[in-house]
Each structure stands twice: as structure tokens, then as C-alpha cells.
Chains A and B, each alone.
Chain A
Amino acid sequence: MPQHIDLKQPILDKNDRMAGELRQRFADAGVYVLDLLASPGSGKTSTILATIDALRDEFNIAVIEGDIASSVDAEKIKAQGTAAVQINTGGACHLESAMIRRAVDVLDLDRLDLIIIENVGNLVCPTDFDLGENAKAMILSVPEGHDKPLKYPGVFQVSDAIILNKADTMPVFDFDEEAFTSSVSQLNPGAPVFKISATKGDGVDAWASWLAERIREAQRQ
């Protein structure tokens, strides 16, 4: 006998519930969490290193590194004297909240102010997954081209801030900055765009100040 059963159940229910628990845990410990999204090779690790440099005097920072394999990135962060936990997804194209929970269990949350999660290099899949973060930010690097907002609208829409890295290479790559900012402002008018060159340090201060202000605001609550 056929029967219809209403479920009205979110598909990512399990992930979202765990993300909610993590968000509460982060708030209780006064830790601000940033989920950083970008393509492979866009300069995520360099941007994180530059951000840590700018903020380490005021905040205690840890990094969760998501990669399909290797601990290359975590080693780079640790070499700078910052706590880093490597997650190897073993082929999965994005991080999920269960992976973050395992990583967080080895960190001392009470001693931290900021956790930066370096998501797997991918502009598509991480977009739909809540990790319990306070904010998502994304990096686009100049060599990837100014047309990326048109090709990957989702990631530009879910990001609270957009970092344009390798800005010093604009003339070489014929990057149309006006076309880029106009596409971004149509997709996500509220998000600030920070032009930086992570390895040279240019523009990092403005981005770091924005982040610092958000951390202070969250910690005041």
C-alpha cells in the first residue's frame, strides 16, 4: 500500500546541527572563526601567514588546514610559531563540520581568540557547508581572471569579505579591475573587497583591521 510521508528535512541537517553546536562552543570560549575559501594556488597560506603577522600582537591565533593530502601547509604555519591542525580529507572536495569538530578537540579553545580555517582549494563545494564559523571570506588571485565572479557566483555571494590577492600582478595579467568590482557588487553589494599582495604585505593592513574589528565586536558580546 503506497503511502506519502512528509519530511521537510534539510538535506545537510546533520552537518548544520553539528555546525550549530560548534558555533555555540566557539562563542562560549570567545573564539572568532573565519572560514577561508579560494582556488588552489590563490595564495591562501601566504594570506594566512600575512594575516597572522598583522594580528598576532593582539590575538592568539590557530589555523585549521584542510587539504586533500599532505601537511605542507600546516608545517609552514607551525614554522611561524602558530598552532596548526592539518585535516586531510582524503579526496573530499570540502570540509564538513564533523572534521572541524575533530580538529577543534586538539586545540585549547579557552586560550584562543581566532581560528582561521583554510578550506580545501575549491570555489564550488565549500560554499554550501556551514562549519560553525562567524564569517566566510574568499580569496581570488589576479591570475585567475576578472571573470570568476560570473563563473562561480555562489562563493562570491556567501563570502562576508573578498580578498583580491596578487594585486601587484594586475598589469601582467590584463586584469580588468572595474569589471571585477562591478560583478562583485552585483552579486554581493555589502561585502568589502580588499586588494592585497600577501607575500609583499601590500594592503594586508586594511584586511587585517577589518577582521580585527569583527573579532573585537564578537568578543564584546
Chain B
Amino acid sequence: MHELGIMTGVMASAREAAEGAGAERLLGVTLSVGEMTEAIEDALHFAFEALCEGDSYFEGAQLTVNMIAPKSRCLECGNEFQHDRFHLFCPACDSFATELICGRELQIDSIEVDLPDDEEESGACPST
């Protein structure tokens, strides 16, 4: 869809969280993306690389995208099953009355950051 727009939002959230933690640099971002959304994995990577280029805070950062396969539960027989984007009926009882359990995720799972390691354990240092 508009992976560049999505990734711009991801980068802003990642930067905010990383800076909030006092990080000097962002090393990586991990996303979960459901296959039932309109976001394409390749386009997300392309947008990420384009946005990292020339930005010293993001330079060299890695993007990991976990694609989530859709899964539904049958409301008639309770069967839980994986499926593709097109066939959502229950393979056990052929019912069309099913609900999606996962597959529409668009989430930032975590980030990896580089924290300054000059912590000299000021003040309440327990050693000695």
C-alpha cells in the first residue's frame, strides 16, 4: 500500500522510544505484519533502507519483519485453522461462520538500541 508512509511512522516511534531510553543510535527494528493487511514485506524493507540512508541515528540499522500467517476459529465447530487470504471457510465442517484470530497485525514488536556504556555506577554503587 503506502509502505513509505507506514515506515515513516515506524521510524518516528522507534526514534522516540530510543531517545527516551537515552540511546545514541538505533541498531534494529522488529515488526509483526499480518498477511491479511495490505503491507508488502519487500516494500517495507525498501522503505526502511531508503529512510535510514543519510540519517546518522539509523545508519546501518536492521529491519526484521515477522509475517504472521492468518488463522481463524470456526464459530460452528470450534476448529482453529490456518488459511490463505482467500479461503476463510472451516476445513473441518465447511462452515463460513469463522472469525479471524490473527493475520491483521501491524505492530512494532521491539527495537535494538546502542546505549552509552560509560556508566560508572555513580552514587549508590554496591561493590566494595
Contact = CB atoms under 8 A, between A and B. Distances in A.
Nearest to B104: A128
Interface residues of A, number: 31
A60 to B, nearest CB: 34
B111 A5 contact: yes
Contacts of B87: 186
A11 B110 contact: no
Interface residues of B, number: 37
Which of A93, A127, A128, A185 has the most chain B CB atoms inside 10 A of its CB?
A128
Contacts of A5: 17-18, 21, 110-113
B1 interface: yes
Per CB-CB distance, the 3 closest pairs between chain A and chain B, nearest first, are A189-B96, A1-B117, A11-B106
A7 B110 contact: yes
B51 interface: no
A220 interface: no
Specify the main secondary structure of chain A where it touches its partner: mixed
A11 B96 contact: no
Interface string A2-33: 11111111111110000000000000000000
A125 interface: yes
A84 to B, nearest CB: 26
Contacts of A10: 106-108
Interface of A: 1-14, 92-94, 124-125, 127-128, 150, 153-154, 157, 183, 185-187, 189-190
A14 B39 CA distance: 18
B37 A154 contact: yes
Contacts of A187: 86, 88
Interface of B: 1-2, 5-6, 9-10, 13-14, 17-18, 21, 23, 27, 31, 36-39, 85-89, 96-97, 106-117
Given A186-B86, A186-B96, A3 B113 contact: yes
18 contacts: A2-B112, A2-B113, A4-B112, A5-B110, A7-B109, A8-B109, A10-B107, A11-B13, A12-B6, A12-B106, A13-B13, A94-B1, A127-B1, A127-B37, A128-B37, A185-B96, A186-B88, A189-B97
B108 A9 contact: yes
